[in-house]
Chains A and B, each alone.
Chain A
Amino acid sequence: MNDKVSKTLFFLIAAVYAGVLFSSSAQAAYLGDKIEYAGYLETEVWIKNNNDNGHQFLTSLKNELDLGIAYKLSDNWSFFFHPRYFYDYAYSIRDDSSFDENQEKMGHTQRTEWLRDCYLDFTSPQLDIRLGKQQVAWSQADGLPFILDRVMPFNLSYFWLPDFADIRIPLWMAKVEYSPWLNSSIQFLFIPDFEASRSAPANSAFALKSVNAWDNFKKLNESMGGTAEETLYRPHQDFENSRIGLRWRSMTGGVEYTLNWLYGHTPSAYTYTDSFTPVIPTTPFGNYKVSRRHKVVHVIGGSFNKSFLQPGPFEGWTVRGEFAYIHDEPTYYGTEGSRRLTESCDKYNWFIGFDRYFFTNWLFSTQFAQMISADEEKQGYHILSGYTYGVMEDVENIATVKIATDFMHERLKPEVLVIWSDDNDGRIAFKTQYEINENLWFTLGYYHFWGPEYGSNGQFRNNDHTFCEIKYTF
């Protein structure tokens, strides 16, 4: 998109917002009895609070158009189509070199034409079938994707900050849900489609430290006469490589539980050093052959939840929990900041969470999670974080607290989410939504990171952001 077109689009969208600001008339969301639609036009701005040499203040100025259309074919059959388009204007108006030199790599950060959903639905009392592009979420946890929320690949262009429905990358699949009796169902997933999880490209605002480190090393290595040949191995999209998932959900004695099994290639690609020939002896500079591979893993787990309904000390509390055993997950080993090996390792991840309302409408939600690795060391090297190549413990602890409420008859909805992990690493996210009128919403957010340089949040400690968004819905 050239500058003239993007500027025109930008001012057109601004004019639409100005027009609707003073209009609160409700729009019809139905066309006849069979077609239902809904969508939005949104502008979001991300501003970086802590400037450093690598980044200027404007991270994103994004316009987005989203439309969902449902067509009812009969009482049992329906079709849903949901495209989304966005364009990030920040890439057009910024002229600093660190931003521009990555334009090519940042293609899908800047603009994406995505078919978010496109599926055919069959529903009946006992059997539901959904065929097509869709997303499936298994987890009971909020914001903890490393346990059971592993069906979909993720887009981490903005780390884990946006809503999870927007972070998950939809896939073409078949989802079959059969209920042999009331309140029990078995879900079968057949996923022939493959998309890799994405992280933000090197030197972008939310680029992972490990991505930046490899990018920087390649440049240094080249200057020392070395080379790096990278090969990406994606699983072929055929029957043999399809991922399969099963989930049993039921209730017993007021406890709702699931049993889950997922088998297939990991959506994340892992880096392997296939060969290395030094050009300068006793230094890491040389000729590298590096591959990025998706490995087959088993995920076996389960989850539960229970609300305490009877009078007593726990009345009003809901407890949630989840466990996953991940067999042979590719894992990095090395020293602080330097990956040396990629080896399979079994993981045992779990969480427990508690929710309750206090003082009428203040929701208090807390979670505690652990990521446990079976092998803390391999060949004398220590386990590393995939985000930063920072040294991890064999047991990593994470705690979250979320407090949310509303004022002005739900027009004003503030919430705060705090995430802590080991070594005083964490982030805090403030978010407030305000309903200007029923079709126009304003959101203001602030993200603050802290922690050590190699912490999963600490890597962004100079990367606090203010975020605002205006959304017109129709």
Chain B
Amino acid sequence: MIGIKGIVQEKGGFAMGKIVLTFICLLFVFSVSAEDLGYYRVHSLKEGMSADEIMQIMYHNKYSLFAHDYSSTNEVLYVDSGGFTRKKSATRQRLIKGGEDGISYKDLVEVTYPTKVKGLAILTWTYEDPEKDQNVWLWVPSLKKVRKISASQDDDAFMGSDLTVEEVSTRRFEDEEYTLLGEKKFEGYAFEHNGEVKYKGNDCFVIECTPLKPHWYYAKRIVWVDKETGGGIFEEYYDKNGQLFKTLFREWVFMDVEGKKYPTQLALECKDLRTGHRTDIFLDNIVYDRQINEQVFTVKSLMRTKW
């Protein structure tokens, strides 16, 4: 939960009397806390929303908390500055638990390519409590057994990519303070993979996010949130010297699921400006609400792996 300090910063440092401040605080608690956003509902961005409200919805969309379950196939390309490319593929299934037993969602990722790591499967349970780490189990093909493992550190690279674990799966609304910098038209992003320019002229909220963790791997990030889909389409990461060192682009579309419009990520491109290395992720075969059985997200299910 964000503190009073955050709200004061968000409002540009305006001074209020104690009673007014308390009122705002209570209003905030009852209007935009993670729990009150509600699972299994699509939330849209509206004019006049605060930075906190916008970011709540952005996180809600990022983790597909509007759906009951989600599955996709993912292709990850690792491209170095010379153009040398490596590929990994995986399938991903997610079950939104909606807070039952304190669990927000359960994830199962199974690596399908390359063969050297084929069969590696990672089962993750993510809890509602923002202080609580994830529970992680791994099917290790070289041991042919399930190993309970410590959750990766949040600033570790996700599957060796330019994205960190936090950027993919563990960062939450409560991890940063937010300031609304304004509403702007996005200049467009030239997707390096195919040269296409995306989202040129889209209306966006621009938000500055400051991590609450001291000495973190970034000092701030600027996030462009697309007003139409509610997805964070572009992020700029700055170090403590104010130097831009990484950009992250996400392509969002609406998927029509039984009359409901689900905001859905189709692709990501993350560039490390220091090394020239980039990671492209493409999500395909996306299916929502196919009633995946919760038994899929158990250790027993991990042991089904053949490879």
User: By the criterion CB–CB under 8 Å, are B150 and A128 in contact?
Assistant: no
Nearest chain A residue, comparing its CB with the CB of B295: A125
Query: Is B118 interfacial (CB 8 A cutoff)?
Result: yes
User: By the criterion CB–CB under 8 Å, are B144 and A164 in contact?
Assistant: yes
Given A307-B133, A309-B132, A473-B114, A165–B143 Cβ distance below 8 Å? Answer: yes
Query: Is B131 interfacial (CB 8 A cutoff)?
Result: yes
Please measure, in the bound complex, the distance between the C-alpha atom of A404 and the C-alpha atom of B111, giving whole angstroms: 20
Query: Is A231 interfacial (CB 8 A cutoff)?
Result: no
Query: Is B304 interfacial (CB 8 A cutoff)?
Result: yes
Closest Cβ of chain A to B272, distance in Å, is 10
Please measure, in the bound complex, the distance between the C-alpha atom of A39 and the C-alpha atom of B116, giving whole angstroms: 9
Contact with A along B133-155 (1 / 0, CB 8 A): 11110000111110111111101
User: By the criterion CB–CB under 8 Å, are A29 and B144 in contact?
Assistant: no
A307 partner, pick from B87, B131, B150, beta carbons under 8 A: B150
Query: Is B299 interfacial (CB 8 A cutoff)?
Result: yes
Task: Return chain B residues, CB-CB under 8 Å to A101.
Answer: none
User: By the criterion CB–CB under 8 Å, are B160 and A473 in contact?
Assistant: no
Query: Is A327 interfacial (CB 8 A cutoff)?
Result: no
Closest Cβ of chain B to A268, distance in Å, is 20
User: By the criterion CB–CB under 8 Å, are B306 and A70 in contact?
Assistant: yes
Please measure, in the bound complex, the distance between the C-alpha atom of A317 and the C-alpha atom of B86, giving whole angstroms: 32
Nearest chain A residue, comparing its CB with the CB of B127: A309
Task: Return chain B residues, CB-CB under 8 Å to A318.
Answer: 148-150
Closest Cβ of chain B to A256, distance in Å, is 6
Query: Is A8 interfacial (CB 8 A cutoff)?
Result: no
Query: Is B284 interfacial (CB 8 A cutoff)?
Result: no
Stretch at the interface among A43-51, A203-211, A273-281, A356-364: A356-364
Nearest chain B residue, comparing its CB with the CB of A433: B116
Please measure, in the bound complex, the distance between the C-alpha atom of A433 and the C-alpha atom of B277, giving whole angstroms: 21
Please measure, in the bound complex, the distance between the C-alpha atom of A163 and the C-alpha atom of B113, giving whole angstroms: 20
Closest Cβ of chain A to B287, distance in Å, is 15
Closest Cβ of chain B to A453, distance in Å, is 31
Given A410-B160, A438-B87, A309–B134 Cβ distance below 8 Å? Answer: yes
A183 partner, pick from B86, B156, B160, B298, beta carbons under 8 A: B298
A316 partner, pick from B135, B153, B155, B159, beta carbons under 8 A: B153
User: By the criterion CB–CB under 8 Å, are A360 and B277 in contact?
Assistant: no
Closest Cβ of chain A to B181, distance in Å, is 30
Please measure, in the bound complex, the distance between the C-alpha atom of A320 and the C-alpha atom of B88, giving whole angstroms: 31
Nearest chain A residue, comparing its CB with the CB of B294: A182
Nearest chain B residue, comparing its CB with the CB of A363: B150
User: By the criterion CB–CB under 8 Å, are A360 and B135 in contact?
Assistant: no
Task: Return chain A residues, CB-CB under 8 Å to B132.
Answer: 309-310
Task: Return chain B residues, CB-CB under 8 Å to A125.
Answer: 293, 295
Q: For chain A residues 289-341, which have a beta carbon within 8 Å of chain B?
A: 305-311, 315-318, 320
Query: Is A471 interfacial (CB 8 A cutoff)?
Result: yes
User: By the criterion CB–CB under 8 Å, are A29 and B306 in contact?
Assistant: no
Most chain B beta carbons < 10 A, residue from A249, A307, A406: A307
| Range, interface on chain B | 35 or more
Query: Is A437 interfacial (CB 8 A cutoff)?
Result: yes
User: By the criterion CB–CB under 8 Å, are A409 and B115 in contact?
Assistant: no
Given A316-B151, A317-B150, A135–B86 Cβ distance below 8 Å? Answer: no
Contact with A along B219-251 (1 / 0, CB 8 A): 000000000000000000000000000000000
User: By the criterion CB–CB under 8 Å, are B116 and A471 in contact?
Assistant: yes
Given A316-B133, A320-B148, A409-B277, A39–B157 Cβ distance below 8 Å? Answer: no
Query: Is A441 interfacial (CB 8 A cutoff)?
Result: yes
Task: Return chain B residues, CB-CB under 8 Å to A360.
Answer: 153, 155-156
Query: Is A411 interfacial (CB 8 A cutoff)?
Result: yes
Q: For chain A residues 1-51, which have a beta carbon within 8 Å of chain B?
A: 24, 26, 29, 38-40
B115 partner, pick from A139, A140, A474, beta carbons under 8 A: A474
Query: Is A62 interfacial (CB 8 A cutoff)?
Result: no
Q: For chain B residues 150-203, which have a beta carbon within 8 Å of chain A?
A: 150-153, 155-157, 159-162
Please measure, in the bound complex, the distance between the C-alpha atom of A438 and the C-alpha atom of B115, giving whole angstroms: 8
Query: Is A168 interfacial (CB 8 A cutoff)?
Result: yes
A164 partner, pick from B85, B136, B143, beta carbons under 8 A: B143
Please measure, in the bound complex, the distance between the C-alpha atom of A316 and the C-alpha atom of B150, giving whole angstroms: 6
Given A309-B132, A473-B114, A410–B306 Cβ distance below 8 Å? Answer: no
Nearest chain B residue, comparing its CB with the CB of A438: B114
User: By the criterion CB–CB under 8 Å, are A355 and B150 in contact?
Assistant: yes
Query: Is B300 interfacial (CB 8 A cutoff)?
Result: yes
Closest Cβ of chain A to B273, distance in Å, is 15
Most chain A beta carbons < 10 A, residue from B116, B132, B135, B162: B116
Query: Is B303 interfacial (CB 8 A cutoff)?
Result: yes
User: By the criterion CB–CB under 8 Å, are A437 and B156 in contact?
Assistant: no
A29 partner, pick from B113, B143, B294, B303, beta carbons under 8 A: B113
Please measure, in the bound complex, the distance between the C-alpha atom of A363 and the C-alpha atom of B161, giving whole angstroms: 18
Please measure, in the bound complex, the distance between the C-alpha atom of A139 and the C-alpha atom of B149, giving whole angstroms: 14
Query: Is B56 interfacial (CB 8 A cutoff)?
Result: no
Task: Return chain B residues, CB-CB under 8 Å to A168.
Answer: 144
Given A177-B300, A437-B86, A29–B112 Cβ distance below 8 Å? Answer: yes
Task: Please name the 7 residue pairs, one residue from A and one from B, whose CB atoms are nearest each other, closest first.
Answer: A410-B160, A473-B115, A137-B145, A309-B133, A305-B148, A125-B295, A163-B142
20 more contacts with CB within 8 A, not counting A165-B142, A310-B131, A441-B116, are A24-B86, A29-B112, A123-B304, A142-B143, A163-B143, A164-B144, A165-B141, A177-B303, A307-B151, A309-B134, A310-B133, A316-B133, A316-B151, A356-B150, A361-B157, A411-B160, A435-B116, A437-B86, A438-B88, A474-B115
Task: Report 28 cross-chain contacts, Cβ distance below 8 Å, ordered by A residue.
Answer: A29-B115, A40-B116, A123-B304, A128-B304, A139-B145, A142-B143, A165-B142, A165-B143, A179-B295, A179-B300, A182-B295, A182-B298, A249-B299, A256-B299, A305-B148, A307-B133, A307-B136, A318-B148, A318-B150, A409-B78, A409-B86, A409-B277, A410-B157, A410-B159, A410-B160, A437-B86, A438-B113, A473-B115
Binding site for A on B (CB under 8 A): 78, 84-88, 112-116, 118, 127, 131-136, 141-145, 147-153, 155-157, 159-162, 277, 293-295, 298-300, 303-304, 306-307
